Amino acid sequence: MDDKVKNLLERVRGTASYAADAAADGARAAGKRAGQMVDVAKLNVQLFDLNGEYNDILRQLGQVMYDTHRGEVPENDKISQLLAQGDEMAAKIAELKGRISDLKQAQVCPGCGAPCSRGDKFCRHCGGAL
């Protein structure tokens, strides 16, 4: 075989090898990103459920307060129990939002809890400093 042909084939093989490595790297990155998206989706489902439970606790607290306003005496420590449950639920919600933010490579506003981009200096929702 001619030296020029051998040289050309070597260059083609080197380029093909480089392209294969780049494609494999791209596939790994895409797989990682897809895994992150699945994790975010799962956390969002959990967050949706927790928000529903939290809203139910707040509704119960409102009902107890209204009943108290009407003169009914609440059960022993009913308000304290509901407040403790609400605090626990709020902590779980904040933790999930933080995990979602980490997966999305974003930050969470300390004022309102809204997700913001890493480069943001102020929250897009409440305007608070980040």
Distances (CA, A) of 45 to 50, 52, 55, 59: 9, 11, 15, 21
Class of residue 91 by CB neighbours under 10 A (exposed 0-12, middle 13-18, buried 19+): exposed
Helices and strands (DSSP H and E) totals, the chain: 2, 2
Question: pLDDT (tens digit, 9 = 90+) per residue, 7-61?
Answer: 888 888 888 888 888 888 777 767 776 777 888 899 999 999 999 999 999 999 9
Using CA atoms, how far apart are residues 125 and 82, in angstroms rounded to an integer?
A: 29
Provide the mean pLDDT of the chain. Answer: 87
Rounded CA separation 101/114 (Å): 10
Tell whether the model's pLDDT for residue 83 goes beyond 90.
yes
- R_g of the chain, CA atoms, integer Å: 27
pLDDT surpasses 80 at 128: yes
Please tell me which residue, 68 or 37, carries the higher pLDDT value. 68
Q: Exposed, middle or buried by CB within 10 Å (0-12, 13-18, 19+), for 114?
A: middle
